Amino acid sequence: MKYTEGYWLQRESVKASFASQAFTVRPIENGMRVTAPERPILTRADALDLTVLTIDFVSAGHNDIAVTLYHDMGYESGEPRFALNTDPDPVEVTVTDEEAVMKAGDITVTVDRKTCAYRFEAGGRLLTSSGFRNTGYLRVNKKPVSFGAGDGYFQRTWDPYMLTELSLKPNECIYGFGERFTPFVKNGQTVEIWQEDGGTASTVAYKNIPFYMTSEHYGIFVDSSDHVSFECASEKVECVSFTVPGEQLRWHLFYGEKPADIIEAYTALTGRPERIPAWSFGLWLSTSFKPSYDEETVTGMIEGMEKRNIPLDVFHFDCYWLRALHWCDFTWDEKQFPDVKGMLRRYHERGLKICAWINPYVAQDNEMFEEGRREGYFLMRADGHGVKQVDNWQPGMALVDFTNPRAREWFAGKIRSLLEAGVDCIKTDFGERIPIDVVYHDGSDPRAMHNYYTLLYNRTVFEEIERFKGKGQAVLFARSATAGSQQFPVHWGGDCSATYISMAETLRGGLSFLSSGFAYWSHDISGFEATATPDLYKRWVQFGLLSSHSRLHGSDTYRVPWVFDEESSEVLRTFVNLKCRLMPYLYSLTVEAHEKGTPLMRPMYFEFPDDPGCRSLDLQYMLGDALLVAPIFNDQGIGEFYLPAGYEWTNLLDGEVLEGGRWYRRTYDYFHMPLFVKSGTFIPMGADETHTEYDYFKDLTAFAGSPKEGVEMKRTVWSCDGRAKTEVTAVLENGKLKIMNG
């Protein structure tokens, strides 16, 4: 939130009080507390009639410092709170007349007693600091207070906000904030943490995460489910500022020598993804949104894939498995699907898993709506006139109140009915259009619940699948997310369009998302809106099959490849075959994701933070630590890509070897692309190119990046059920690559 007019002047609608002195500092449990008046207290009289802020610095985990800024310490916002896992480092606090110093883990916090400026240091370097007019309390739209008799006596008449600003260094780059489709480096942007259904071509986002990290080895998480507003060098160009409504601001600073360390610390606090089944990495095919379909149509698409020898793991039923005007009452359209259990059994016999679309909204005029209204399972109107209903998706739709334990159990029962019928996983669409003129069962603040709602929604569905299928077998295809939603994978990128521009913005959004604590991500191959050209379809297929998860889905037309041209079928088969062979490499990365929160698809800066050439790259990425992927974004087949310095890079598809530290421009046909293995590493390759679940240890081979004679390279490979592992060693002997399983 911008509160200034230039650097020196505040907006006339804002009265600000800034921390100006560390008047007292005292140790508290796991940290220290600073009392910070808005002006220095030099005499006894100075201590009257002033605003005082309180700042707590506390160790919350290893290399995780929690900061809480209070104005009114007795304030209770009513906001839902993220579940945080704390495990403090030992803390040492030293206080003198000049400064207060707190050490925890590798981080040192130093507070200047005279000015209340504070700084964070680690690894012998300054991370960031907060100084002159950087920590404050804002009274917005303040009106005069009456001290006369009558209504309004001594009544506050302003909107309270808490503010913190943290310094930036020259050339420091800011990343994260969830899946944002604006420029990848967030410097110069205003970022509003507010869920909205805005597609992939706007500044609003489905997945808003109040977390960012920078190229200077630290990350910041604002622990608020409410609307958080970030100014990323967009108000004061020398800092990032963040504001939240209310009388309290909580945030965390994480330190790491590399980006993976920061993500590890952040996800230790907010949660890490559960393991997911290996079959989920295969190809997903959807009915698409608008085209009509029944069992005959669906079977025809599946048989078309079989005829062309294109491996398929999951078939997805989108919205119209439900009856028109009845979404989402969990009742199959009997006219189109008269034998649901038999149909799903027949698809299972073909080796397929089944996904079904849902959302948390219930249209009126059906039995589920009547039951929810009768039992009090929906959000209620703030004016007291019954259930909150809107028409902007389904007629008179109500929203499930997931703060009500009985409503959660009721909704989970609907999920179980799908699972019992033969559905294996769920696409949890929507969760962003949550009104704020409502009343929640548990009394939560409805404005703060707007962002938080998705966490309760997706948790309810994921945990029910997990109860039914077992640990490691639950998977979603979710659109909305907030902090902590990474525990319930997978997420996809929302409504993109069938253009190269939209393909690029989709990747940009995904890389921001994967910089925000999430390990898995997918997108609609060839775009959701409109229909791609055969050229774009084939290029997006390459990108999609080299993402963690791969789905063919669209709005107006089916996305089966032969609709585009038969070469599209060949390209799709080629890259599905490749992904199946990559499964020993890909699935083993899920262990790292589960244990440390590390994403499978990694922005270039994530793996090469010391290479300045990687800082702003957003049209290429690393798939794991060893494989560089640079999708092609034009109809000339031209690949433009940067290879990081200090390595040789070998193309997995054609064997070309290139030196790192420079840009390249190459032309590729539809069966090739920039796909490079880093020197000194190798990719374990499975023997099965038609399945994602198989014996990864059997007949294992490897593709190495510029191996050196006699130098051993090691990698752990896990079995497809995650229960066994083996150490694989690759070594070049007499010019031939030798593979040894542990």
For the annotated catalytic residues, the residue numbers are 429, 432, 495
| Residue partners of 8: CB distance under 8 A and separation at least 6 | none
Query: CA–CA separation, 624 vs 514, rounded Å?
Result: 12
- Calculate the dihedral angle through the C-alpha atoms of 696, 702, 703, 706, rounding to the nearest 10 degrees: 140
How many degrees, rounded to 5, is the angle at CA 44 between CA 40 and CA 45? 80
Q: Which residues pair with 642 in a beta bridge?
A: 663
Cβ–Cβ < 8 Å for 570, 490? no
- Quick check: helix, strand or coil at residue 387? strand
Q: Which two tokens stand for residue 477?
A: 């295809």
Query: CA–CA separation, 167 vs 446, rounded Å?
Result: 33
* CA proximity to 173, closest of 616, 608, 661, 622: 616
DSSP tag of 201? S
Neighbours of 506 (CB within 10 A): 29
Cβ–Cβ < 8 Å for 239, 134? yes
β-pairing, 239-245 vs 208-214, is: unpaired
DSSP string, 285-332: EE--SSS---HHHHHHHHHHHHHTT----EEEE-GGGBPTT-TTS--B
Note the maximum CA span of the chain: 97
* CA proximity to 315, closest of 571, 547, 552: 552
Query: CA–CA separation, 63 vs 66, rounded Å?
Result: 10
Cβ–Cβ < 8 Å for 503, 477? no
Q: Which two tokens stand for residue 166?
A: 């943290």
Q: Which residues pair with 65 in a beta bridge?
A: 59, 253
Query: CA–CA separation, 572 vs 308, rounded Å?
Result: 10
- Interaxial angle between packed helices 340-349 and 295-307, expressed in degrees from 0 to 180 and rounded to the nearest 10: 0
Cis peptide before 560 (omega within 30 of 0): no
* CA proximity to 25, closest of 113, 90, 147: 113
Q: Which two tokens stand for residue 630?
A: 């640079």
